[in-house]
Amino acid sequence: MSDPVRIDLPLNRATARSLRAGQVVELFGEMYTARDAAHRRLIELIDSGGELPVDLTDITIYYVGPSPAPRGAPIGSAGPTSSYRMDPYSPLLIARGQTGMIGKGPRGEGVLAAMREYGAVYFAAVGGAAALIARTIKSYEVVAYDDLGAEALARITVEGFPCVVAQDSVGGDLYKRPK
């Protein structure tokens, strides 16, 4: 197995388009956390013409609802949540600039079509490794929707966040079994 590919965030479309299903990567830099409740609010803002709390250009969103932070740590356990819950919202966010998504489980056809059209990538993080993943998160700051608790939109800084390219912008898909 080869060494992980280092990805410095933000993730631009050219880099997103260059990644292929099966590549192991480590992410470094700033990304965001959000789950379905925060995604729903972002879409409502877009639909109403409101101003978004973050710029979606080249953004990577980790689908996580972290546990409370223990003393001295920026975040508690931070394992991925099931990504299909963001499928109704992701195509519009990708069209508006989002390039990276991190979660667990396969994505729906609407998301995959948007990834192919705009150049985005879906990373899978390992479920069950929440405490280990949390060690790569160096900062955590809620930027919007504080009332959602663990589902708020938050900015995190990561160093060596491990994941694998699960579905890429050219149709590569680790979830499809060979026939």
* Per-residue model confidence as pLDDT tens digits over 73-106: 999 899 999 999 999 999 999 999 999 999 999 9
Number of independent structural domains in the chain: 1
Q: Is residue 153 part of a domain?
A: yes
What mean pLDDT do residues 132-140 have?
Answer: 93
Residue 178 or 93, more confident: 93
Instruction: Give pLDDT, residue 179.
Output: 59
Going by pLDDT thresholds of 50, 70 and 90, the confidence category of residue 128 is: confident
Q: Is residue 177 part of a domain?
A: no
Structure tokens at 36: 């379905």
Q: Is residue 175 part of a domain?
A: no
Residue 112 or 76, more confident: 112
**One-letter amino acid identity for 151?**
E
- Listed in sequence order, the residues at least 6 apart from 136 whose beta carbon sits closer than 8 Å to its beta carbon are 158, 159, 160, 161, 162
pTM above 0.75, yes or no: yes
Q: What is the CATH number of the domain that holds 145?
A: 3.20.130.10
**One-letter amino acid identity for 160?**
G
- Listed in sequence order, the residues at least 6 apart from 92 whose beta carbon sits closer than 8 Å to its beta carbon are 43, 46
Whether residue 178 has pLDDT greater than 80: no
* Per-residue model confidence as pLDDT tens digits over 36-87: 999 999 999 999 999 999 999 999 999 998 888 999 999 989 999 999 999 9
Domain containing 125 equals 5-167
Q: Is residue 27 part of a domain?
A: yes
Q: Is residue 178 part of a domain?
A: no
Q: How far apart are the first and last CA of the chain?
A: 24
Instruction: Annotate 107-123 with b (16+ C-beta within 10 A) or e (fewer).
Output: beeebbebbbebbbbbb
Instruction: Give pLDDT, residue 67.
Output: 87
Q: Is residue 173 part of a domain?
A: no
Q: Is residue 179 part of a domain?
A: no
* Per-residue model confidence as pLDDT tens digits over 148-176: 999 999 999 999 999 999 999 999 999 99
